[in-house]
Structure 1
């Protein structure tokens, strides 16, 4: 797989030739093992790109800075603005002097924005920006053509499935999954590098699974409504009966998004 090294013990330290993951210490039912901070660089280069510094955790940010070492942080990129990915960005920018680029202007610091089709470079490294709204309105993915690897933020997780947050939408999300699936096949993608969880070495298979799961959930919600369930909470009790109850509030967010989709407003 083009030199991909994927440790089986967990996401921390997972790498491709140009991407290394440093796991933030913020595990939870929503963040899985924690937030994946990705450090991107050409082998031997003097400049790096850091994606998603993670939460406001001084120890983690110092660990990332220590990994970068004497190299220069050319830019900090955000896959989206949710706090487990972005809250540490301002502090990390202070530590490194690097600008923060994001789609949402509220999360930018000292630099340009980011938009679908942009290309970000640093000392020979190329990162292509892919607009993938759905999990949130400002979600982005990043394509590393030299590694044939895609950083997916929360659009695709290393295990399980993502929620549709209140600032996202299922119509956009399904379009984004379809777009990523097409791109992965056409570009010969070899790995998905998620914002939480382990590296996925079968991109098309993972995306096929995500798309099928969403369609299946829609069918289950249709069936639950036909059986008399009306509120999101009632639908969660039926459709997500096999899911840990601690995740039901997140499931209810996704149900609201799916109901909006089915009712034509999503």
Structure 2
């Protein structure tokens, strides 16, 4: 990834460019990646994840108009808060799994192929981080939202997110062609999303084993916080609240196994 720059449209692949929202944080890394998609030579574009309600950021995206359609990878506000306002601003429908974020009424489902801006964009349901998470597959790249990040690992946002679903979603991504570029919701692009998803699976298996061992050590039915204090002792405490989400999902997964 090139030097971090807010407010600058950066071309990543022949069909995908990114605008980085200025909302950095523990959960958002450098900020939310808003993706602008168009085939070479196409006048219109597709916008994925307009991001927070930041008029300056939304204005910079609107400058890429005409926009045919706005797509959401999931409903977390750092991706979706500005979506309906942006859709009205550029007179474009907003499509999402969750009806609460739609503008124009059309959803997203497995098997959908969105033909816009000279592209065919296939919807891949990838629940786990959240129940409504999806990825968008292009010819040589896949937009992964928060299912796979450009740096570090994501959380399973229990109770909406479920670990079993998340593991299946990662396995689905490992079936894509090797070398498929990952275009994440946060962090830099990934040269091979298959390798990244495989690494996530290994990490999750290791964490699950650690959580299982912690439950045995602590005895009874330990709280997620107690497990976090043991398993994540070497992790910055600012990340512990997010880790509790994932641990709750792991404890539920172990109970159901």
Q: Same fold judged by TM-score > 0.5?
A: yes
The match for 2:152 among 160, 176, 179 is 160
The match for 1:16 among 10, 13, 17 is 13
- 4+ residue segments displaced more than 3 Å: none
* Structure 2 counterpart of 1:260: 252
Cα distance, 1:205 vs structure 2: 1.5
In 2, Cα distance between equivalents of 1:260 and 1:117 = 30
Does 106-115 or 131-140 show the bigger shift?
106-115
Indicate conservation of the 8 Å contact 1:11/1:21, yes or no: no
Q: Please give the TM-score of this superposition, normalised by the length of structure 1.
A: 0.91
Q: Please give the TM-score of this superposition, normalised by the length of structure 2.
A: 0.94
* Structure 1 counterpart of 2:50: 53
In 1, Cα distance between equivalents of 2:86 and 2:147 = 24
Matches within 5 A, 1:52-71: 52-66=49-63, 68=64, 71=65
Matched, 1:77 2:71: yes
* Structure 1 counterpart of 2:168: 175
Cα distance, 1:8 vs structure 2: 3.3
In 1, Cα distance between equivalents of 2:95 and 2:69 = 7
In 2, Cα distance between equivalents of 1:57 and 1:26 = 9
* Structure 1 counterpart of 2:136: 142
In 2, Cα distance between equivalents of 1:125 and 1:140 = 18
Instruction: Name the count of aligned residue pairs.
Output: 251
In 1, Cα distance between equivalents of 2:3 and 2:200 = 24
Structure 2 residue runs of 5 or longer lacking an equivalent are none
Cα distance, 1:112 vs structure 2: 1.1
Let me know the Cα RMSD of the aligned residues: 1.4
The match for 1:117 among 70, 95, 111 is 111
Structure 1 residue runs of 5 or longer lacking an equivalent are 1-6
In 2, Cα distance between equivalents of 1:11 and 1:32 = 14
